[in-house]
Amino acid sequence: MASSNDIKNGAVLELDGQLWTTLEFQHVKPGKGGAFIRTKLKNVTSGKVVDRTFNAGAKVDFAVVDRSNYQFLYVDGDEYVFMDLRDFDQIGVPAGVVGDAANFLMENQEVTVALHEGTPLYIEMPPSVVMEITYTEPGLQGDRSSGATKSATVETGHEVQVPLFVEQGTRIKIDTRNSEYLGRVTD
């Protein structure tokens, strides 16, 4: 047991038998009354976000979450198989836990897998990835400066919006949080 004063962003709390990740926290000391901590928590399994307030110094349970670097190997049915880079053990992570990260997972991709008592909770992708465009329509001549975009399909089959001048076979950098085009990559 720890105190609510120890709550920080990214801390995983165990409340009512469920795991919650701290997205935001704020210590509040009003002019009258005792101090309290206002938090925004996200349920690790369902993704539900709630606001919760704790009295300062209240006892809370922090969950032990092991975050380790893993390498993506392959997909086996509904499971994604990852290898621990420390001891080369392999784990299967259900597709529901992988979620939208599957749009950016390529063979040998390094990710961070968070485990609680041996159960995968979520996958943290790097902030951006480099992928090759496998299909896109040709851009129109003369529309280069309008800021218009077109749809493009990358190696994993995921569709992203790219500027009109980007062509098939181009390697691009993509933001893994929102699938946004960040620029072309020249090797």
What whole-number distance in Å separates Cα of residue 157 and Cα of residue 95?
16
- Looking at the structure, give the CATH architecture of the domain made up of residues 2-62: Roll (2.30)
pTM of the complete model: 0.75
User: Which one-letter DSSP state was computed for residue 173?
Assistant: E
Q: Give yes or no on whether 2-62 and 66-124 have one common fold.
A: no
Mean pLDDT for the chain?
89
Spatial CB neighbours of 31, under 8 Å, sequence gap ≥ 6 = none
| pLDDT computed for residue 134 by the predictor | 94
Give 177's pLDDT tier (boundaries 50, 70, 90): confident
| Residue 144 scores a pLDDT above 70 | no
What CATH topology corresponds to 128-184?
OB fold (Dihydrolipoamide Acetyltransferase, E2P) (2.40.50)
In the chain, where the domains are located: 2-62, 66-124, 128-184
- Does domain 66-124 fall under CATH 2.40.50.140? My reply is yes
pLDDT per residue over 34-79, tens digit each?
899 999 998 887 878 999 999 988 999 999 889 899 999 999 999 9
The pairing of strands 79-84 and 18-28 is unpaired
Q: What pLDDT score was predicted for residue 141? A: 60
The pLDDT score that the predictor gives to residue 140 is 66
CB 70, CB 80: distance < 8 Å? no
List the single range of 78-82, 144-148, 164-168, 169-173 with lowest mean pLDDT. Answer: 144-148
